[in-house]
Amino acid sequence: MATDRISAFDVIMANGIPCKGIILTQISKFWFDFLGGDVEHHLISDNVSDFPQPFCDCDQQLAGRSMLVKKAEPLAVECVVRGYLAGSGWKEYQAGQTVCGVKLPAGLKQCQKLPKPVFTPATKAEFGQHDENIGFQRCVEIIGEEAANYVRDKSIEIFQKAGSFAESKGIILADTKFEWGIADGKIILIDEVLTPDSSRFWPADGYSIGRDQESFDKQFVRNYLESINFDKSGPGVLLPDDIAARTSAKYIECYERLTGKKFKVGC
């Protein structure tokens, strides 16, 4: 079940974003359906009537924001794929021409498209801690060579397919994080997929290299927090109503562009 809570800099804010849980769940559902022929995933149904007791009787609380999924054992790495030089990747590149230890060509600019997508795995941190970027060899040591090769290749494949589709809808998929797990002896795609919380989405019509981009993700909240010098080691703050509402509008626009459906506000 996805709530409307939002975190930034690994800190949960004091209030949520209207409709966020439903939007994220429905975007994930869209992508699971879109990718169904290419990769096995954990989604069984998002229809509450298919849920076991007592949950099938909780339509009012669960409808739109919950899924019935296969039980899987998560792999102990997060699979990040970067197609553009942004965020922490841009900062690292400026310091040493690398992104998570991967050497890149000289002369790239902020938010420029990379020559090819880069796989940059990370370890999963405990709640309240920061994930740690790791090299591919360390990924092999943690989950094994066969699994590491599979999740790297599949993550890049999915990223490229989803990126091409998003581009046809006027959205740039800059980077994203996938999670994988093992169910019935097979590696399957789990957790949320290609949502504004796990990805950077930019409107293509406003894209320009050499600067920060407008986005459909929670970067809008991060920017607000930076503007008020938010203490990243402290508790979450109460987001102003206009910041919460404008963030919700961005999530809704992302959903509508990707799916081609009008979001029915009823959350």
For residue 217, the model assigns a pLDDT of 80
For residue 126, the model assigns a pLDDT of 67
Q: What is the mean pLDDT of the chain?
A: 95
Segment 217-226, tens digit of pLDDT: 887 898 899 9
Listed in sequence order, the residues at least 6 apart from 193 whose beta carbon sits closer than 8 Å to its beta carbon are 28, 31, 32, 35, 41, 178
CA atoms within 13 A on the CB side of 4: 16
With CA atoms as reference, report the closest residue to 195 among 14, 8, 25, 3: 25
For residue 2, the model assigns a pLDDT of 96
Task: Work out the average pLDDT over 45-74.
Answer: 96
Is the predicted pLDDT of residue 242 greater than 60, yes or no?
Answer: yes
8 A C-beta contact, residue 162 and residue 31? yes
Identify whether 1 is part of a domain: no
| Owning domain of residue 226 | 7-259
Task: Work out the average pLDDT over 76-84.
Answer: 98
Alpha carbons 82 and 48: distance in angstroms, whole number: 35
Is the predicted pLDDT of residue 127 greater than 70, yes or no?
Answer: no
Compute the radius of gyration of the chain from its Cα atoms. 18
Identify whether 265 is part of a domain: no
Identify whether 264 is part of a domain: no
pTM of the predicted model as reported, rounded to 2 decimal places = 0.93
Peptide bond into 54 cis (omega under 30): yes
The H-assigned helical ranges of 74-130 are: 87-96
Identify whether 239 is part of a domain: yes
Identify whether 266 is part of a domain: no
Is the predicted pLDDT of residue 252 greater than 90, yes or no?
Answer: yes
- How many domains does the chain fold into? 1
Segment 6-22, tens digit of pLDDT: 999 889 999 999 999 99
Q: Which residues pair with 188 in a beta bridge?
A: 181
For residue 122, the model assigns a pLDDT of 95
CATH number of the domain where residue 36 is located: 3.30.470.20
Identify whether 84 is part of a domain: yes
Q: Tell me the C-alpha to C-alpha distance, in Å, between residue 77 and each of 114, 121, 151, 153.
A: 23, 6, 10, 14
Identify whether 216 is part of a domain: yes
Identify whether 183 is part of a domain: yes
| Angle formed by the axes of helices 241-259 and 219-227, nearest 10° | 160
Segment 131-189, tens digit of pLDDT: 789 999 999 999 999 999 999 999 999 999 999 999 999 999 999 999 999 999 999 99
